[in-house]
Every structure is written in structure tokens, then in C-alpha cells.
Chains A and B, each alone.
Chain A
């Protein structure tokens, strides 16, 4: 009985030892890859930051309105810094996934494969979000200035509607791209869009009847008056 027990214990220890001997290099490989990821990420971040500073990327972002939109969103870092940071995390994540893969565990492999498959979709979604955000600010700004120059009273409202319209559309596109509750997003978007149009129609039809009449009257009748009252030749 004693011998049998000793043998069982020895087998267990030997088996664990064997498994540990087989698994330990994997852990070391993972840790090494994570450390390499940290170093490589830092190098890429620094390099990219310097290159972007050299090509004057930040003034370019100011010109495109990206810096202003980030400031409005509460992000006070420069665009070159943000790109550097993003590149660090991208490199680090790739190495971390490689590290997890090196563990040779079935669950870990499934996780990394899934994550890597999802990465292109995520990047596309991020790009869509960025482009949508920029477009919303640009279109709203242009509409606001044009409406103010045309002396429309609801200039601010028009600009706000355009900004939110584009943002909502962007959000729906991003969620669809990510494959998150596709049907629900489409339905929600349709309902929301239809609702907005209906609300506008009701608001203009009921609440803004006088305004509509005034606008039409001004358009059809006052153009002549305006000519009589304002004959400035600007050039």
C-alpha cells in the first residue's frame, strides 16, 4: 500500500515536472515577447512622433480642424502625440497576442485568432469614426456660416441638426461595421431618422407656420423691396 502510494506520488510529481518543463519555455517566450513589444512599441512611438513633428503634422491637423475637434471633445494632447500613443499600443498588442499564442493553449489560441481577425474591422471602424467626426464638424461649420450670412434666424439650429445627423449616421455605420447588433442598429437608425424628419415636419408645420409664411413672403415679395433699399455695389 505504502509502495503504491509512493509510486502514485512520484508519478504525479514527475508528470507535473514534465509538463512544467514543457510549459516553462512557453511562459518565458511569452514574457520575452511582451518585453520586446514594450521596447518595440516605445521605439516606434518615438520614431513616428519625431517624423510627424518634422513633417509639421500638427499644423496640418489644425488646418483640417482635427485639433479643434479633439479639444472640443476634451482631448488636449497634440495629434502627433496621439498617433505616437496609438502606434505604441498597436505594436504592443501585436506582440502580446504573439506571446499569448506562444503559450500553446487552445483557449488562448482561439482568443488571439479571434482578436486578430477582428482587428481590421476595428481599424476600419475607427477610421470611419474619425472621418465622420471630421465631416460632421466641417459640414456644420460651413452650414452655420452660410446660414448666418444669409441672415437666417435658425442658423444655429440648422448647424446642430447637420452635426448630429452626420454623427448619428456615422455611429450607425461604425456599429454595423463592427457587426454589433446589425438589425437593431438599422431599425434604430430608421426609427430615429424617420422621427427626426417627422418632428421637423410637425415643428415647421405646426409651430413654425408663421415663420414659414414669413419666409415665403420675404422670398416672393421682399426681394424687390430689398433691391430698392440696398443698392450697394460692393466691388
Chain B
């Protein structure tokens, strides 16, 4: 057994020996929400998989707010005994993880435990969820446990301005590259097979941004590029704690987009050979759900873009094609209400950044950070374009952009040497 599992955990695993289902919860200072998440998962397991031997793993990043105690307390709650017939006990493992602080390192510990217990199906869910229901456990586990799928990506209804990195970069780019229409590739709550967990462990990525926010996109792309069977699970609305909105945007972009670009290097033969994308099956009936309102400060985003044009032009000149740069200079003087960042220009920007990353045109972290003002410009434009639009219309805009990414893929392939 590798070093990164602590001795008490190894002993606990030897006691449990084998399990069928594992649910992992990465956490860091989530004492306020994790108790409910754990209770809901335990309920889901007893309701939907009463005969399975199940394990709940809390992989914690060194919380100081009593997160571990909240997990302990949740599983000792007598209100959990809501099933009438005897069921196998749900084992719990609470462990700190080794490695770079971040969600990815927490997942690595979960993968290792899954491999050790030879589980058939796993799921991971965020610890700050407020909208999780027992149904989530069924939707994420059953396609793997009984349906023969290897990877279950989540599908939520989100506010039109929620998940803007997903909508403007991650979803369309993943779809254009790997030809699978996975709407929430970095949703954070996934189901996967024990076989896939074992594959994840074999990859040497735990010293990179994959150990941080890059883990979600890495899991999805690896499953897609390695041709595992993928489906989506409709989970309703995703409501979670809002922490520091926009504060760590640059770091998030570096980790997510950097992981995506780095996977393009690894799987270049795969994505260069893919053609048109196809839909991914959805598990669970789609229904309308209420979503939380999101306020957006458009002016601040437009100003960030304008400052980028003013100060970062010499850096963008190294990264962007001259015609893309000319377009950016044309839109920069527009007033906030008239500000529009055309879709095709945005696609060129993303592809130019991917190419610059591939050709190592600049120090990689500088390169990825230089994308932030452009992303904010495109996000501001998206908000202005869809101010009066409903959910379906906004989804239509995102679909059109994804199609644009696919249509312009030859541009990327042609310049990739």
C-alpha cells in the first residue's frame, strides 16, 4: 500500500476488507454544511442500495472548524434509522489527505480507498452542498452499479450566470475536442466505476494543478478520451455555499484551463481524430427547478477587459493572432451598455491561448493568467446579450457557442504542430 494513506485508515480498511459502493466527500472547513450532506448520503444509501456494503469517506484538508466532528455526529444521528428492515452498516472513514492542499489530493485518497476496498461504484459530492437529496446517490451510483456505465457526469439547472467558466470555456471546448456533449464537465459531483478509479490512480498528475481545481476536468476528460462509457445524471438544482465570489478567479482559471490545455497535449491524437460531437445519455427525468438569483457587476468586468487591453497588449501580441488582436482593439472603446465580445472572436482567443500553451510562447502561469481580462470581457458580453433571456434561450446561446467551437476546430488542428 502506498504511503499516502495514514496508518489508522489502513487498519480500518483491513477491518472492512471489501465494499460495493463508496461515496467520497472532500472537505475543508465545511462544518456548517457537511453534516447534512453526510446524513443525506447515508439516507440515500439505505433507501436505494439497502443490500450493498457501503462506505462513506470524508477526505479532509486539515479543517479547523470541526468538520470531522460534524461528520462523526451526522453518522451517529438516530434520525438516520429510517428504514424498517435490517441493512448492512454503513462504514465511515474520516481521514486527512496527503499532498498539495486541494480537492484533487482529497480525491486521490478517495480513489485509493476505492481501489483497496475493490468497490464496484463510487461517487464524489461537494461538502458545501445545500441542495443535495437522497436521489443524488441513486442517480450517481445506479448507472455504474447496474447500468454498465463507467462515468456519470452531473447535470443541473443553474442560474444563467452561474458556472461561467463552464459555459464559456470548459463545456464548449471539451465538446469540440472529445466529441461528447457533457454539459457540466466540472460540476463537482460525479459517479464512476472502481475500474476507472484504479485508472486515475495510475496517472502521475498529483503534483500539478489536477491536485487542485483541475481535478474535475481531468476526471471527465480522462474518461472521455480513454473511451469509457459516460452518461449524465439529472440532479435538479445545485445550490452551494458562496465563498469569495470572483476573488480567486485568476487562480481557478489557471488550474481549470491549464489542466484542460495540458490534457490536450496528452490526448492530441484522440482529439485531432474526433469529428462531430454526439449527445450523452441522461439518467433521471428532466424537470424545471427553482434556482437562486445571481447578481452580476457587468461594469466591473468590462473595466477589467479594458484595463487588459490597455496594459497587457504586449503580452497578448505574443499569444494572439494579429486578426484576433485587431478585433479586440475594435471592441475595447465601446461603452458598457454597447459592449459586445463576438462569439467567433472568443473562440479564436481560446484556441490561440491553447496554441500558445502548446508552443510554450510564454511562461505557462503568466500565459493562463493573461486570459482573465478576456474571459471577463466575454462574460460581461454574455450577460449583456442575455439580460432579457429565459433559461432555454440562454441554453440556446451556449449551444450556439459550442457549435462555433466545433466549427472552428480546423483552425486549431491546422496550427497545432
Q: Show the binding face of A for B, using Cβ within 8 Å.
A: 59, 62-65, 68, 138, 141-142, 144-149, 151, 153, 155-156, 226-235
Contacts and interface: CB of A to CB of B under 8 A. Distances in A.
A145 B240 CA distance: 30
Nearest to B361: A62
Given A141-B363, A145-B315, A235-B186, A155 B307 contact: yes
Contacts of A226: 245-246, 297, 300
B49 interface: no
29 contacts: A63-B360, A64-B363, A138-B363, A141-B315, A141-B362, A141-B366, A144-B311, A144-B312, A144-B315, A145-B369, A148-B373, A149-B373, A151-B300, A151-B304, A155-B307, A155-B311, A228-B295, A230-B296, A230-B297, A230-B300, A231-B295, A232-B162, A232-B246, A232-B296, A233-B162, A234-B165, A234-B249, A235-B163, A235-B186
B166 interface: yes
A65 B364 CA distance: 11
Contacts, number: 104
Contacts of A147: 311
A65 B363 contact: yes
Contact of A146 (B162, B188, B315, B369): B369
B158 to A, nearest CB: 8
Contact of B246 (A68, A156, A234): A234
A138 B366 CA distance: 9
Nearest to B240: A233
B308 A148 contact: yes
Contacts of B252: 234-235
Interface in B333-374: 359-363, 365-366, 369-370, 372-373
B360 A230 contact: no
A226 B297 CA distance: 8
B297 A229 contact: yes
B165 A230 contact: no
A231 B245 contact: yes
A119 B213 CA distance: 50
B307 A230 contact: no
Given A142-B366, A226-B297, A232 B379 contact: yes
A229 B295 contact: yes
